[in-house]
Amino acid sequence: MAGQAVDTDAILRSLTLDEKISLLAGANFWETVGIPSKGVPSIKMTDGPNGCRGADIDGDIKAACFPAASNVAATFDPDLARRIGAALAEEARTKGAQVLLGPTVCCHRHPLGGRNFESFSEDPHLSGTLATALIRGVQEDGGVAACIKHFVANEQETDRMTVDETIGERALREIYLRPFEMAVREARPWSLMTAYNLVNGVHCDSHDWLLRDVLRGEWGWDGAVISDWGGTNSVAGSINAGLDLEMPGPAGVRTLSAVRAALEAGEVMEETINERAAALLKLIHRVGGFEQDYSGPSSLERAEDRPEHRALIREAGARGMVLLKNEGQLLPLTKENVRGKKIALIGLSKDALAHGGGSASVNAHYKITPWEALHAALGDSAEFVYAKGVHRQRLLSPLSKDSSAAGSVTALDGQPGFTRLLYEAGNPEPVLTLHGYASSAYSPLGSQESLNRVVELVGDFTPNESGAHYMACSGIGATTVFVDDAIVFRQESNCADPMGALFMAASEDLFRHDFVGGRAHRIRIRTEPPTNVGMRILEGRSGARLGFRTASEHDADLRGEAVRAARDADIAIVFTGHDPQWESEGRDQDSFSLPNGQNELVAVVARVNPNTIVVNATGVAVAMPWLGDVRAVVQAWFAGQECGNAIADVLTGAVNPEGHLPVSFPRRLEDAPAHGNFPGEYVDGQLKVAYAEGVFVGYRHYDRLSRDAVNFAFGHGLSYTAFRLDNLHVEPSGTGDEFVATAQVSNTGVLAGGVAVQLYIGNAVQSSEHPVKTLVAYQKARLQPGEAQHIRLLVKARDIAHFDEKAHAWVVEAGTYEFSMGFSSVDIHQRASVQIERQRVYSLARNGSYAE
C-alpha cells in the first residue's frame, strides 16, 4: 500500500503547467483533483476529530462516534489516544477516505470558546503529547494521513474567518504553537490545516512566518498544508507562503486564470507552483493513492459497527470522566447499596450527549442514554423514576422520519421522512427529486447537488394532537415555510448568522400555528441559494431547518415535576449539559451558565433531596453555583456513542473514575485569564482581539490568584480509592540538558484504580514575567489495592525554557528550580529543588532541531 516505489518527481515533470495549477485546489467538497492521463489519482478527506462522517453528512451512512478531545485529554493516557487514532484510521477507510481532518489541538483560551470540546486542553504539553499519540495511531498502518489543525490560534468562533488576533511571539511560541511543534516534530503528521483567522494582521493561510519560517523552516516539516474549508484568502500570498491545497473545490480563489495572471505578473514563480504540486503528490504517495484510484466516494462509503470500536469508545469515555466531588462517599451506586431504593433520574437522562456540533458531529451507529444504561447496570436493584426537568435544545427539534411525540411525517412517495426537491432558477419543475430525507433540517455542508439551486423539503405531517404548535425556522438564504400552501413564515433575505445556519444552530424566533390532530398537513420549506453572504464557502449553498414542538410539551411545568420526583426519591441524579446546538463550531457559547434553567433545576432538586448527584456533559468548564448544595459531581464530557454506558460504569463503580481535568474550572467567568479580551472589539468594522494575558493561560493564570478563583483546578480528579506519592528524587542525566524525576505512587485504598501523576516545574524565585510552574511530564498509573509503582519521568532543559523575544531564542536561566509532583496543579505531594548552574540558550535551527 503506502510507501511503494513511485517516482513523484517524474510524475511532476510530466505535468503541464495548467495541470500542476489544477492540483492546487480541490475537485469538490472532499476530494482532490485527479489527472488520470498522467497517473495522478484523486484522494478523499473526511471529518473529523472524533468520527469519520463521510461525504454525505446528512445522509444515512453512519459512523462510530468516539469521545471528544476534551474527554480524551482527561484520561491523561497517550496510549489510549494512540488506540483511538488507529480506530479512526479504520473508520476513515470505511468511508473511502485517505485524509482524516484531525486532531484539533488549539488551546482552550476562554471557557466560552465554541470549539473547546474539539481540542484537548488549556495546557500545551498535555495537548501536544496526546496529539502526538493520536497522530501516530492514525498513520501507523499507512493509508490514512492525519491532518493536524487549525494552525494556528483558532480559539474562538466569533468572526472566525476575519478576526485579527494580536499575539506576542512568546505567547505564540510557548502556548499556541507548542502543541503543534511537539506533534510535528515527534509524530510527523502528513498534512496540516491552516486556521481561518488572522495572526498579527495576516491570514494564516498566507502567513510567511508561520508556514515558511516556522513550520517548514525551524521545524523541518515536509507535509502538505491544506486550507480550512473556504479559508484561502489570496492567490499569490497563499502559494508563496506555503499553502499547498485550497479546499473545498472547485477552485474559488486559485482558479486557472487567477494563478496564470499571478504568474504573468511575476507575483508567483513556476518553481513555487512546482513545490506546491510536489507536496500534494507526496501526500498522495504517502497514503497509497498511486496504488489505487479512489474515485466515486459515495459508492465506497459503508457503515461498520465494530465490536472492538464499541468497547474502545466505552472504555475511553469512562476513563476520561472526572469525579469532581464525592461527599460522604455517596458514589459508587453499587447494586448492594441501592437495593430497594428509589432513584430519580432528572434532566437530560434520556438524552445521549455524545458529541458537539459542527464538523465534529457524527451520524452515530447508535447512542446510549444514561437512562438506558443505568437500567441495564442496576437492573431490578433499584426503582427508577424520571422527570425531564428542562428542555435540552437551544432550538426546537426538527420533525423527523422517526416517530415522535409530535406526530409522523411522510414523504411524497408515502414512506417516512421528507422529499427533497431541487430547482434551477426560473424553472418551476424540479430537476431532482429525492425521497426519504430524514428530517426538516437540511445543511448543504458536503453536498454539491444543492449548489446554486432552490431546495424544497416537502412532507405530510400528521400531528398527534390538535391545537397550537410551536415552530421556528432559519435558512442560509431567503426561506419560506408553507403549511397547506399557506405561508406561515418568511425570512426575506440571508440569515443574520449564516455560519450558525450552516451548522443548524442559528438563533430562531418562535411562532405558533394551529394543527388538527390525526389529519395530514402538507409542510413545505423552500429555501433560496444565498448570495453575498460574505463567506465564499456559503455562496450559493441552500440550507434551512424547521423546528417543532407541541404546545403541551413546550408549556409543561417541567421543574415542578422534577421537584416532586426528587422529593419522593432516596437519591436524585440530575443530568445537565450541552447538546450540539449549545456547543458547536461556528459560534461561541452564549453563557458560562448551563442553559435553559439547568442551574435552577439543580438548585431546587438539591433543596428537596439531600442525596443529589450531578452528572454534567459539556466539553468545557461551566459555572456551578449549586456546588455546595450537592453531594457528588461527575464531569462526563462528550463521551461518544457509548456515553450512557460510560456514565453508568463510573456511577456504579464498574470503572473506578480516573480522569483528571485538562482545563481549570473557574468559579466566575470574570476570573478567566482572557476576560475582557474575548471575543474582542470591532475596529473599523473588523473584530480584533488582543491576547493580552500572554502566557498566563489556564492554571498559569490561576496560580497567581486566590484558590477561591477556581471551583476545580487543572489536573483535579477524585477516585473511589486513595493514592500516595513518596520519594521524589531528581538528578541530571548525561550532559545536564536532561533531568530524571523518580518517585513511588501507591494505592492505599481498597479498590483497584488509576491516577495521573503530574510533574510541574517552576523557578524557585517567582517573577511576574513567568508562570509559577508549568506541566512538563505526567504518567498514568493503574494499581491494585496495596500495590506501588515506580514513576520515572524524563525532562529536557528545553521543556522548562521560556522564549526570550529579544534574544529570539529559548532560554533556561541559571538558578534554583522547584520540581513539584502531585495529582493536580494545586494538589502537590512531593517537591524537590534542583540547581541549574549556568544559563542555557537554545537557538532556532532550521533543520528541525534546536542547538545550544
Predicted local confidence at residue 850, as pLDDT? 66
Measure the CA–CA gap between 94 and 105, rounded to whole angstroms: 25
Sole residue written with cell 436524585 = 572
Give the list of residues 6+ apart from residue 363 with CB closer than 8 angstroms, or none. Answer: 53, 57, 59, 60, 61, 62, 63
b/e map of 330-341 (b: 16 or more CB within 10 Å)?
bbbbeeebbeee
Measure the CA–CA gap between 827 and 719, rounded to whole angstroms: 14
SS3 for 658?
A: coil
- CA neighbor of 321 nearest in space, from 622, 718, 48: 718
Predicted local confidence at residue 32, as pLDDT? 97
Q: Which domains does the chain have, with CATH numbers?
A: 319-393+556-697 (3.40.50.1700), 407-553 (2.60.120.260), 723-851 (2.60.40.10)
Torsion 204-210-215-217 (CA) sign: positive
Q: Which DSSP string do the residues of 195-233 spell out, in sequence order?
A: -SSEETTEEGGG-HIIIIIIIIIIS---SEEE--TT---
Q: Which DSSP string do the residues of 388-451 spell out, in sequence order?
A: --S---SSPPBPBSS--SSEEEE-TTSSBSEEEEEE-TT-SS-SEEEEEE-BSEE--TT-STTB
Which residues of the chain register pLDDT less than 70?
1-4, 57-60, 293-299, 403-404, 445-448, 735-736, 845-851
Predicted local confidence at residue 403, as pLDDT? 60
| Residue type (1 letter), 373 | A
SS3 for 611?
A: coil
Radius of gyration of the chain (CA): 27
- Per-residue DSSP letter, 25: B
Predicted local confidence at residue 298, as pLDDT? 47
* CA count, 13 A, side-chain hemisphere, 411: 21
Give the list of residues 6+ apart from residue 542 with CB closer than 8 angstroms, or none. Answer: 442, 444, 450, 453, 454, 455, 475, 476, 477, 527, 528, 529, 530
Neighbours of 373 (CB within 10 A): 23
Contact 449, 422 (CB under 8 A): yes
Contact 348, 392 (CB under 8 A): yes
Contact 568, 342 (CB under 8 A): yes
- Catalytic-residue membership of 579: no
pTM for this predicted structure: 0.94
Active-site pick, 228, 588, 703, 799: 228
CA 211 to chain centre: 23
